[in-house]
Amino acid sequence: MVFSSQTFLQRSRDLWTIELSNQWDVLGPFPIHAREQQYLSPSFPLNLTEIIDFHASWPSSYADNGQVSWSHAESDVEGNLEVSFPNIRWKSLRDTEGWAALQHHAVLRSTFTIQPPSSVSPTIPPPRLLVQLIQGSYFTILPENVEERKVPKWYAGNIYNMERALPRVVELPLPPSLNIPTTYHIYVSGDYEIRLFGDPRVQNSEIPVQKITLNMSVEDVAHDVVHEETQDVVCDFVNGFAFGDAMGIGLRSTSGWWTVHRVQILSESNDGFELKLQKPTRLAPSQTRVIPLNISQSKPFTDDAISLELTLSSTNSQSTQIKLQILLPIKQLPQWSVSNSSLVTGTYFYASHVPTFFVAKSPKFENGRVPRPAVLALHGAGVDVITQTFWPDALPQKDHSWIVVPTGRTSWGLDWHGPSAQDAWASVDALVGILNNNSAWRPWKLEPNARVVVLGHSNGGQGAWYLASRYPDRVLAVLPAAAFIKSQAYIPLTLSRSAHYIDPSLRAILESSLTPDDNDLFLTNLVDTPVFAIHGGDDDNVPVWHSRELVSVLKQWNSNSSVTFKEDPGQLHFYPTVFDNEQTQAFLDQVLATFSPHPASKSFTLTVALPSDSGTLHGWRVDRLSVPGRLGRLNVELDEEKVRVVSSNVKAFSVDTSVFAVRPGSLWIDNSHLPLPDVTAQARGVISFISVDHKVWKVNSKPNTLQRSGRVQTILSSDHAPLVFVVPHSDNERELSVALRTVHDLHIYHRLDAEILRDTEVAPNIGFGNLVVIGNRAAATLRATFSQEEGFSMKPAPGSLEGPGLGLVFLHPHPTNKDGKMLLMQSTDDSGLERAARLFPIRTGVAVPDWVIVGPEADKIGAAGVVSAGVWDSDWDWNPVMSWVH
């Protein structure tokens, strides 16, 4: 039940109730670039622990005379609020600064009142709130009395209006009165971004408008654990057989710590159909998780629902158990055929643990003798492919090739980078397994590890450029439509607040964390890949020059590149014929018919920024960089007599010798002439090379280790789940609050599973997933726990953590998994921990390298308030070239 505006509802005489005012005070606008609010205080320019003067003004270059003051806005009965600043001369600003001038920050303030139950006892617990902030970036709740305010806890809003997002559970900063109504203040950080709100001229206006929705209710704690049906993951059944091996049940704890340890099917017609708990799954207080169930099946299951019973035990008391009965609807489909094509929703276990959806569009005909490559189709930002079919419907059905439509984790995901890219490839692999495991589906099967054709629209078009240029050996061809080059080109960072204060060398180190996403820097990897780029000539969302420029840069690297650009005059961002036209389908049909990779040029260049997030080009792979944070390149020249390799910023690389048509007579790597090992046609494999000095190389007798450092965002990528959060052993610590807030964001934005452990529980439960260690005490416990672990030496935090308000985030090797990572978040006090928490990589475009120490000045001057920052070297050691210390 939702309460908003001036509505005041009394659910029952024995429950708390809430009234949210519809009157808002608004301060702004202030220039800001996208994601800069991660460094700035969300309440900039205010200090919320001080008395706020609502008659004062603040400097802003957007306003005439350079000053802005408070204004007012009013929400409607549904909690919808529109914030605009009509007195700003927006047209004048954008005439010189373009879209960058429209992006701005504002602070919004309102109040709400908590009414106690009419019948109350001294032992009644304070209420918890369910808050849903849509298209606002952050909010915090504070007591009315300024003297009672502590360091604000900032909660991220659902700024993307993500699908199936649950409200956030919020603890009040102080308990309300048991006798009279209690008033609290709520502050919201409102940030206008073009990617979220669009160009106002599309609405025939020059004035950008923030459209924010805030709903609040009192949480009903009638049950300790509740079933959140919108979070369930259930595949379609085809002729009674599950199209996947994974199911997931969304559960949320409303009270206490609970572990799911048993599942039982109650449906009577379950002969030959079984569900097993993938692993016991623990819920922290207020946490939502999707409980993973493994499907095994030998006979058809044709019911339209599955009845289950889950058994949970209290982590605090093993004698306390509850049982939840759940009914899961099943969508039953007939098998596709020549005369009956269909869209099928499949499932698989992402990172071996997380139940995950994808959609597949069947081909018209069976394969025949040879399996055909698939088409990997990447959706645009905000497109939910599970409930919306317009994206797969826009792609004409192919004769013999499946069209695989991954979710990218969510409708926005990570812009098809990191875990979103991992999900895209895993969805293809999942379909391979599903078709091969059912004899009736094998005539339509795919070849394992086969190359695919990648296409996408808008953000998906950008993702197509990304996947193809980072994993070129997996891609037969690429068809990007309406793609932007990179975030900094889409909306420039020119109006950054921090740019006016920051040391340029610090800015360079911070922005090195954006380099792995810059598609234009990696086009060397596509000179041998057929490219068919498409763009509407009057695109009002992604300007057409982006595709023109990408094609131009690609041709600059190789004028003979197989690249075609199709510009459709007069067309806007999306149009029904963007892919459904004769020229585009002819290109696609030709590639799918040959399904063989384009031959390698005699000379080509492999470009890499993050070795752990990059694949091979013609069998060559960069494993480690000499100076992480900078680009690494291998230029390879091939002929029948010799191979010549020229490296730039590469410490280790490898090659699959099966790519050589004949065994070359000699191999030159920079200044080193190396004999190749005997690699006959029957004994070819991967050879590793490592630099022993500058431009001096040798064959490495063992496989090269892969560099996994480079930026904090890599903590989201792992072959194992869940992501484990470690907090101190106390329910009242801010560290637990940070963990709960972050795992909520991970679930909304990426559907990534996370488990919260006390530091005293880590040793037997650490697993192989990446770790996030929150707080100084938890870090000290881990250091003591794993100090004897072979090969593990916990590095001290870089720089000095002395002084108030300092927060630290830094990437570190995993204590027991050589392929894993650990992120430590430490601070000198609560305010420092809040600053560190905002740098956790939930969204793309946040410039955070391997480690950062941020101070109180960041509240006012953004990234210029960073005290120290840097990128580790490829051995996780100090990297003086890529480090900045105040």
Rounded CA-CA distance 797/786 in Å is: 17
Mean pLDDT of 232-256: 97
| Whether the predicted pLDDT of 11 surpasses 90 | no
Q: Give the least confident one: 2-16, 173-187, 672-686, 815-829.
A: 2-16
pLDDT of residue 73: 98
Read off φ and ψ for residue 591, nearest 5 degrees.
-65, -45
Strand order of the sheet with strand 273-277?
225-227, 246-253, 288-297, 273-277
Confidence of residue 318 (pLDDT cuts 50, 70, 90): low
Question: If pLDDT is split at 50, 70 and 90, which confidence band does 675 have?
Answer: confident
Q: Which residue has the higher pLDDT, 873 or 795?
A: 873
Read off the pLDDT of residues 845-863 as tens digits, 9 standing for 90 and up. 999 999 999 999 999 999 9
Residue 4's pLDDT band (boundaries 50, 70, 90)? very low
User: Within a 13 Å sphere around the CA of 599, how many CA atoms are in the beta-carbon half?
Assistant: 6
Is the sign of the CA dihedral 444, 413, 836, 291 positive or negative? negative
Amino acid at 628: P
Closest to 447 (Cα-Cα) out of 344, 348, 373? 373
- pLDDT tens-digit profile of 481-532? 999 999 999 999 999 999 999 999 999 999 999 999 999 999 999 999 999 9
Domain topology for 335-594: Rossmann fold (3.40.50)
The pair phi, psi for residue 23, each rounded to 5°, is: -100, 130
Question: Quick check: 227 and 251 in contact, CB under 8 A?
Answer: yes
- What is the reported pLDDT for 14? 67
Peptide bond into 363 cis (omega under 30): no
Express as a percent the part of the chain with pLDDT over 90.
84
Tell me which CATH homologous superfamily contains domain 712-885. Chitobiase/beta-hexosaminidase domain 2-like (3.30.379.10)
Structure confidence by residue, pLDDT tens digits, 418-456: 999 999 999 999 999 999 999 999 999 999 988 999 999
| Contact status, residue 57 vs residue 118, Cβ threshold 8 Å | no
Three-state secondary structure readout of 288-338? EEEEEEEEEECCCCCCCEEEEEEEEEECCCCCCEEEEEEEEECCEECCCEC
Which pLDDT score, from 0 to 100, does residue 639 have?
A: 82
Beta strands 642-648; 632-638: pairing state: antiparallel
Confidence (pLDDT) at 640:
74
Q: Exposed, middle or buried: residue 96 (CB in 10 Å: 0-12, 13-18, 19+)?
A: exposed
- N- to C-terminal Cα distance for the chain? 51
Structural contact between residues 70 and 85, judged by C-beta atoms closer than 8 angstroms: no
* Mean pLDDT value across residues 615-627: 97
Flag whether pLDDT at 70 surpasses 90. Answer: yes
Domain ranges of the chain: 17-218, 223-333, 335-594, 603-625+629-700, 712-885
Q: Report which DSSP code applies to 622.
A: E
Cα(730)–Cα(778) distance, integer angstroms:
11
C-alpha 373/C-alpha 603 separation (Å) is: 27
- Lowest-confidence segment of 350-359, 404-413, 792-801 by average pLDDT: 792-801
Lowest mean pLDDT among 274-278, 463-467, 709-713, 765-769: 765-769
In order of 256, 500, 859, the CA distances from 61 in angstroms are 49, 13, 18
The torsion angles phi and psi of 694, rounded to 5 degrees, stand at -60, 115
Q: What is the mean pLDDT of residues 747-772?
A: 93
CA angle 289, 293, 294 (to 5 degrees): 145
Where does 46-156 have alpha helices with state H?
Answer: 90-97
pLDDT for 39 equals 97
Range 780-799 average pLDDT: 79
Q: Do the Cβ atoms of 723 and 751 come closer than 8 Å?
A: no
pLDDT (0 to 100) of residue 315:
79
The CATH classification of domain 223-333, taken from the options 2.60.40, 2.30.30, 1.10.3470, 3.40.50: 2.60.40
- Quick: pLDDT tens for 344-386: 999 999 999 999 999 999 999 998 778 999 999 999 999 999 9
Place 681 in a pLDDT band, splitting at 50, 70 and 90.
very low
Model confidence at 764, pLDDT cuts 50, 70, 90, reads confident
Range in 19-33, 328-342, 476-490, 827-841 with the lowest mean pLDDT: 328-342
pLDDT in tens, 290-306: 999 999 999 999 999 99
Cα angle 475, 481, 485 (rounded to 5 degrees) comes to 85
Overall size of the chain counted in residues = 886
Residues with Cβ within 8 Å of 203's Cβ and at least 6 positions away in sequence, in order, are none
673 vs 677, 684, 698, CA distance in Å? Answer: 13, 20, 9
| Strand bridging mode 821-827 / 771-774 | parallel
Q: How would you class 693 by CB atoms within 10 Å of its CB: exposed for 0-12, middle for 13-18, buried for 19 or more? A: exposed
